[in-house]
Amino acid sequence: AQSVTQLDSQVPVFEEAPVELRCNYSSSVSVYLFWYVQYPNQGLQLLLKYLSGSTLVKGINGFEAEFNKSQTSFHLRKPSVHISDTAEYFCAVTTLGSGDKLTFGTGTRLAVRP
């Protein structure tokens, strides 16, 4: 069975500082990987996705993530955060085959302070 682990439930950071949100997955087969963001009282919005090809993926709002197959990780990074980046971030994985279910991690709350 596939699973997604987000190691940090909360990440406080000062404005303009860099940030990394960690995500690890478990799967014995090929995967597609996603990062979603959820602003208060809103649905989830896709930040970026890895399907194949280059392991460094760039998304919206200046975010990027790197797929590391050997470490089964897909960490999200931003070199300089803004107050407006304060939100909940979810890592998700689709294991190819077995119905292609989209499974989410428990989320990381990014709190950007001035």
Pick from 100, 72, 104: nearest CA to 88: 104
Q: To the nearest whole angstrom, how small is the minimum distance from the Cβ of residue 16 to other proteins?
A: 28
Q: Which is nearer to other proteins, 81 or 92 (CB)?
A: 92
Q: To the nearest whole angstrom, how small is the minimum distance from the Cβ of residue 91 to other proteins?
A: 9
> For residues 9 and 68, what is the distance between their CA atoms, to the nearest angstrom?
21
Number of residues located near other proteins, criterion CB under 8 A:
25
What's 77's DSSP letter? E
User: How crowded is the C-beta side of 3, counted as CA atoms within 13 Å?
Assistant: 5
In angstroms, how far is the first alpha carbon of the chain from the final one? 41
Q: Which is nearer to other proteins, 4 or 81 (CB)?
A: 4
Q: Which is nearer to other proteins, 51 or 83 (CB)?
A: 51
Please identify which residue in 26, 42, 55, 80 interacts with other proteins, judged by CB under 8 A.
42
Show the tokens assigned to 32. Answer: 């597609």
Q: What residues numbered 43-62 form the site for other proteins, per CB under 8 A? A: 43-46, 49, 51
Q: Which is nearer to other proteins, 43 or 114 (CB)?
A: 43
Q: To the nearest whole angstrom, how small is the minimum distance from the Cβ of residue 77 to other proteins?
A: 20
> For residues 39 and 52, what is the distance between their CA atoms, to the nearest angstrom?
28
